[in-house]
Structure 1
């Protein structure tokens, strides 16, 4: 053994041990500082939709359980700021919310896509925000009513079928229009219904043959109709099949043209954002890490899991790092794909 190696190794080991102790001490001090700050504080979850929908469902779920896993155990409440399909709350969150950890968001899933497609009306930059974690995706599913002339994808290529929708700005409505534009399915868009419940009522009455909504909405509002066969899934819109719907055709798989397929991938990716908590611009790395750790602890907490099971709240958890990958995927979409999707959304309704 060379002389000097052992003393050097001892010195390195000692230095490493001291560094580790200092690191532990720093983490402990940070935790104590955070606990001191958050004790007696209120953390607000800002959402851009009114009470009663799926945004509120998951925001209230976080309000019940997240504070337990934040140092100092602050109270967590939900603030609703509806308007503009969530755009008002999103702009407020990006430009006026404090970044000291007392405000986080649960904002619309198309935030990144809208930033690329409508930059002039998107008063936020998602590059400056970071996702904390996802409760569930929001992939849309198109249902066909029992008795409709076309009951399979092959029959949809041969038989013109009316597709009910609310308006051209609804993401669920856009699924039909975009699919109509990119595929050979013979959809006839019938828009103007006042809300998703009105469209579903029209479906059950036979006014339209098909309509789309988020799968969790179908399960919560039409479980009996699904079980009885009064309606059944015929198409799904996502990057991969929904668990339990592996035999239902993915709309993206009907597209052969590479450019159209890429644009459809951009469209479907927003559903992967789903119902997610997000940190405002300017939040420190320390606070952001604390929130991601609190989220990860919350979603594995037996009390949280019992709550979701008892209330039948669907979960498809994705942590903050995974969510940031999805965000980056969407924001890196080539401009030509963005333009092609905009054309499909416009002309697919005509």
Structure 2
């Protein structure tokens, strides 16, 4: 079959499948000839050769000058299916080639909203180092920082001004969806219009107190005032202390305005503050020596359950008795399941999103990537795109009364 006949044949096969041409009879004798030649003659003993019908004859399928019997219909149907699948396969390959051609020679940027030194930078740099070889076309992958507002500045840029052609990804705070529900007027993004390609690891915020602080336990926090260092109010680490203050009545003096989690932690080591909170990964990777030396000690964790590494440290949920307060804290902790996740901005083409999600899954099983993470004590607990989306959907399905309670806790918890 020549190329023109092949194209016309695929068109008519598609029409047959759609019901525009009788499923029992294709009006293409040349195609019937090809089908018989390819798949064989069901009456091979009587008809060894096939040929198109004579001029002026009915344009149904003939075998050796006679109308094809019904026994051939199953062969015809099989041929239709096979050729349609072939056409679909060719189309998929073509799309894959288009994605590869697009990314070849390009630079893919991973945007973060925090300065170097924290867990966002840690995971972004690790991913960037090994991601390129898994993306079609193997583009260069770099990390760009846009610190400010606890990640809100980068989130606003990413949602509204970032290129949406698949050349920019972002690793933003896991609290984006929460903040959007709690402070819709000030949230200049819509998480529902973005798509996650996957999460490298879930995260749990852990509150630390410095050695020598006036209060050393949760019980003592009720009796003496403690200075709490924090960055922007949109970060889960800052919000954690505000919620604990509201729901348990601890005497926290919130000192927010530090430009990053790193700056907040250094304030504790300098004695400017007594308490601060950041994700457990940040503590274990960057401050293990200080923990081992007893300079800081964990007092509360903000996950739905206790971390394996911290079996004796209570969760904030355990510290409250009111069922509504427990529900609000569980809603807050759901962001930890999103964790350190990569996402694409609104309007990113579907084929490039799918390619990036597949590339992310491959990255998470890359032996070199995993070996490097293990050497640097960086936890890896990946979740694919569909799994992260489920976490996002759970957050957006939270009852309005729970959101209202948590919003009140945020607003009053930051007050001094």
TM-score (norm 2): 0.73
Cα deviation code 1:122-172 (max 9, x no counterpart): 12111110111112233111234456686665x458754625223672532
Alpha-carbon distance between aligned partners in 2 of 1:92 and 1:190, rounded to the nearest angstrom: 28
Q: Which residue of 1 aligns with 2:28?
A: none
Q: 1:113 to 1:16 in 2, by over 3 A?
A: same
Q: 1:149 to 1:294 in 2, by over 3 A?
A: same
Indicate whether 1:128 and 2:193 are aligned.
Answer: yes
Following superposition of structure 1 onto structure 2, how do residues 24-43 of structure 1 map, counting pairs within 5 Å? 24-43=89-108
Does the alignment pair 1:191 with 2:255?
yes
- Tell me which structure has the larger Cα radius of gyration: 2
Structure 1 residues 34-43 or 238-247, which shifts more? 238-247
The root-mean-square deviation of aligned C-alpha atoms, in Å, is 3.0
Gaps spanning 5+ residues in structure 1: where? Answer: none
Query: How far 1:300 moved relative to its partner?
Result: 0.4
Q: Which residue of 2 aligns with 1:165?
A: 229
Distance 2:340 2:167 in 1: 20
Structure with the larger RCO, 1 or 2 (CA within 8 Å, 6+ apart): 1
Spell out the pairing of 1:297-308 with structure 2 (5 A cutoff). Answer: 297-308=362-373
Matched, 1:289 2:354: yes
In the TM superposition, 1:100-179 aligns within 5 A as 100-145=165-210, 155-156=219-220, 159-160=223-224, 162=226, 164-166=228-230, 169=233, 171-179=236-244
Residue number in structure 1 paired with 2:400: 335
Instruction: Determine helix, strand or coil for the equivalent of 1:78.
Output: strand
Q: Which moved more, 1:247-256 or 1:6-15?
A: 6-15
Which sits farther off after the overlay, 188-197 or 267-276? 188-197
Q: How many matched pairs? A: 345
2:330 maps to which residue?
265
Tell me the CA shift for residue 114 of structure 1: 1.4
Deviations 1:31-67 (A, max 9, x none): 2121112111111222222333322222222221111
Question: Counterpart in 2 of 1:279?
Answer: 344
Q: Secondary structure at the match of 2:298?
A: strand
Tell me the residue number matched to 1:69. Answer: 134
**Cα pair distance change 1:183/1:14, threshold 3 Å:** farther
In the TM superposition, what is the alpha-carbon distance from 1:288 to its structure 2 partner? 1.3
With 18-27 and 276-285 compared, the bigger mean Cα shift is at 18-27
Quick check: 231-240 or 140-149, which moved more?
140-149
Q: Shift in Å at residue 13 of structure 1?
A: 4.9
Report the 3-state secondary structure (helix = DSSP H, G, I; strand = E; otherwise coil) of the residue aligned with 1:238: coil
What's the counterpart of residue 16 of structure 2? none
Pair 1:180 & 2:242 matched: no
Change (3 A) 1:121 1:269: same
Taking structure 1 as the reference length, what is the TM-score of the superposition? 0.86
Q: Partners of 1:167 and 1:137 in 2: how far apart?
A: 21
Q: By how many angstroms is 1:9 displaced?
A: 6.0
Where do 5+ consecutive residues of structure 2 fail to align? 1-68
> What is the 5 A alignment of 1:312-323?
312-323=377-388
**Alpha carbons 1:177, 1:189 under 8 Å: kept:** no
Aligned residues of 1:137 and 1:316 also touching (Cα < 8 A) = yes
Q: Matches of 2:375 and 2:165 in 1, distance apart?
A: 34
